[in-house]
């Protein structure tokens, strides 16, 4: 299985997958890491682990970036595209080229607390503000829409991130075994 990763920052999900590949736990190959931020730590991690890295800015020309992104993923012959904290909505060219082969991990149980602007600590703050006592992470196929005592947001974020990074590895193991996947969720309480 050939994997491409899109990350705007640290790429914690990507790091977990690459570590599982290197440990022999996942029969896959990390082919490319692409970021819309030149200084994203995910790019440095990719280089340190021998993975091709690319910087494709999405501003000021999102349409050109969309075409370039689809081309780069195609050139790397990826089977699956994994969003690892990629903070840009994908364009129609990339979505069409990789339809039903783009996965995102979202730090809440969807459909609650998803949508435009709901990422990172914002999600955890919204969960806490709602009074919910259970949260988790969801892996979903990407389409044209966004994400279809006291606990602080910082601590809650750390707990969810620890569970969330393992979801990609588990999902990819299932895909390697040719099992059907729609949405996999883990609960944290």
Catalytic (active-site) positions = 106
SS3 49: coil
Three-state SS for 31? Answer: strand
Burial of 159 (0-12, 13-18, 19+ CB in 10 A): middle
The two three-digit tokens of residue 43, written as one number = 């790019």
Work out the burial of residue 118: count CB atoms within 10 Å of its CB; fewer than 13 is exposed, 13-18 middle, 19 or more buried.
middle
CA distance 144 to 91: 8
Contacts 24+ apart (CB under 8 A), 111-119: 111/147, 111/148, 114/146, 114/147, 114/148, 115/146, 115/147, 116/89, 116/146, 118/146, 118/147, 119/85, 119/87
Indicate the DSSP class of residue 69: H
> How crowded is residue 69: how many other Cβ atoms within 10 Å of its Cβ?
26
């Amino acid at each position: 299985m050939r994997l491409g990763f899109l990350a705007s920052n640290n790429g914690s999900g990507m790091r977990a997958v690459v570590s599982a590949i290197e440990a022999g736990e996942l029969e896959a190959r990390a082919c490319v890491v692409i970021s819309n931020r030149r200084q994203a730590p995910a790019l440095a991690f990719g280089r340190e682990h021998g993975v091709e890295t690319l910087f494709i800015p999405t501003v000021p020309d999102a349409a050109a970036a969309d075409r370039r992104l689809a081309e780069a993923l195609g050139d790397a012959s990826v089977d699956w595209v994994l969003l690892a904290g990629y903070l840009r909505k994908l364009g129609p060219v990339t979505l069409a080229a990789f339809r039903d082969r783009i996965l995102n991990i979202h730090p809440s149980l969807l459909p609650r607390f998803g949508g435009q602007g709901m990422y990172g600590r914002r999600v955890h703050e919204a969960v806490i503000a709602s009074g919910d006592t259970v949260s988790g992470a969801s892996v979903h196929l990407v389409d044209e829409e966004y994400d279809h005592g006291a606990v602080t947001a910082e601590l809650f974020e750390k707990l969810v991130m620890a569970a969330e990074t393992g979801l990609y590895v588990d999902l990819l193991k299932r895909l390697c075994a040719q099992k059907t996947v729609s949405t996999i969720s883990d609960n944290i309480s």
